[in-house]
Amino acid sequence: MSEHTTNSAWGGRFQESTDAFVAAFTASVDFDQQMAQEDIDGSLAHAAMLVKQGILSEEEGAQIRSGLEQVRSEIAAGTFAWSVALEDVHMNIEQRLTALIGITGKKLHTGRSRNDQVATDLRLFLRSQIDEISAELVRLQQGLLDVAEREATTIMPGFTHLQVAQPITFGHHLLAWFEMLKRDFERLQDCRKRLNQSPLGAAALAGTTYPIDREYSAQLLGFDGVCQNSLDAVSDRDFTIEFCAAASITMMHLSRFCEELILWNSSAFAFVDIPDRFCTGSSIMPQKKNPDVPELVRGKTGRVYGHLFSLLTLMKGQPLAYNKDNQEDKEPVFDTITTLRHCLRAFADMVPMLETNAENMLRAAAQGFSTATDLADYLVGKGVAFRDAHEVVGKSVRLAIDRGCDLADLPLADLQALCELIEEDVYESLLLEGSVAARNHIGGTAPEQVRAQVKKQRSQLAS
């Protein structure tokens, strides 16, 4: 005979107890207890509103406040006894509150439902987690600015198609990553703004007959306003999807950064050295130093993508209003939060400690005729049409390939044989340092511009 259990919060309607397996299968307390602090905060605000509206007495409000703070203390101390039979974080806390203060504890749920309660908790929880994630993101941005300033004059090859294209500075390259993270930060703040509306008071789906003050409870909880439709308030999970979408884009950016770090750290490139503390060795090859942190972050990106698609799929077929399906929204969100925060922390710790091999970078930039475009620009400056200049440079590159040398090593006479307008000053354009310094405009790779951007972005981060 199977075991059975009854949840006193709703058992009055039922003639038989819930099967023990079904109780465990439908319970969420194992993971939604992460929202315990938010659940208590929401209940305190709801109780304060009920007192303000005369629905509860001052004495009852004081009892509830005292009881909830004791529950908070028990949870913090690890002495709180969580029960799967009580399904979720909400009923576990309410049951303990009632055990502490008696029948007044049962009055707390007046004018609300678990539907608006869980929606409120999730918004509060995600809001606080976005703030923590944003702080880690800013820490990574600060680290990138520090390294960019340090490497403002370090020349490296810029790539397209993973082929040497034009010389740039390493500082300039890092500022590209800063710009990506800047957009990631803005997306998170945008998401936070939209989620910061209170569903509390929407009750099950239609509101409540009690004379509640939703604006007051929203104000107590730091919300910017209230959800305007009770049906939407309890069934909306757009904010979780939007967060996971923003997280997916951030992880995509980190994964691209990882790919470059893995390449640069390899012996084939040897542009950077990742500190030992962020790497591991091989069980069989003693010479190996594996870039495990970038590789793992790159791998975890797919995990976050999966959570986004999980939520989209979860919501696509649900009718209004709340459905039990929505219990499945929390684990993807919780894991996305943890994954993103940990990846950002690892990067924020690692990036400032990257060591660069400037000689290897410079040597690589000198290969692949990276100043070819500069030669074309030089010819345009002499009055040659760009397409004609492009052809001259192509022939120059072919000549250098045949001779096994760089463009800067070709004799002036050979260059003049291709275009008589070329003069001795052409070699200034063919030097890596000159090429980089010449791109001295907003967004350019010149060291002067890199330093200016670092200064500008630092001031914006501090504001």
pLDDT digits (tens, 9 = 90+) for 353-375: 999 999 999 999 988 888 898 89
DSSP helix/strand/coil, 288 = coil
The pTM of the full predicted model, rounded to 2 decimals, is 0.91
Which stretches of the chain drop beneath a pLDDT of 50?
A: 1-4
Q: Which CATH architecture has domain 372-430?
A: Orthogonal Bundle (1.10)
The catalytic residue among 66, 266, 282, 441 is 282
Choosing from 161, 267, 283, 463, the catalytic residue is 161
The structural domains of the chain, with segments of one domain joined by +, span 17-110, 115-362, 372-430
What is the model's pLDDT at position 289? 81
355/350 Cα distance (integer angstroms): 10
Q: Which two three-digit tokens encode residue 187?
A: 């997306």
At 92 the pLDDT is 97
Question: Does 115-362 match 372-430 in CATH topology?
Answer: no
> Would you call 283 a catalytic residue per the annotation?
no
Fold adopted by 17-110: Fumarase C; Chain B, domain 1 (1.10.275)
Annotated catalytic residue 441: no
Share above pLDDT 90 across residues of the chain, in percent, rounded to a whole number: 85
Residues 6+ apart with CB under 8 A from 227: 197, 198, 199, 202, 233, 236
pLDDT at position 429, please?
85
Q: If you count them, how many residues does the chain have?
A: 463
In CATH, the architecture of 115-362 is Up-down Bundle (1.20)
Do residues 407 and 431 make contact, with C-beta atoms less than 8 angstroms apart? Answer: no
Q: Look at residue 463 and give its three-state secondary structure.
A: coil
Buried b or exposed e, range 237-252, using 16+ CB within 10 angstroms? bebbbbbbbbbbbbbe
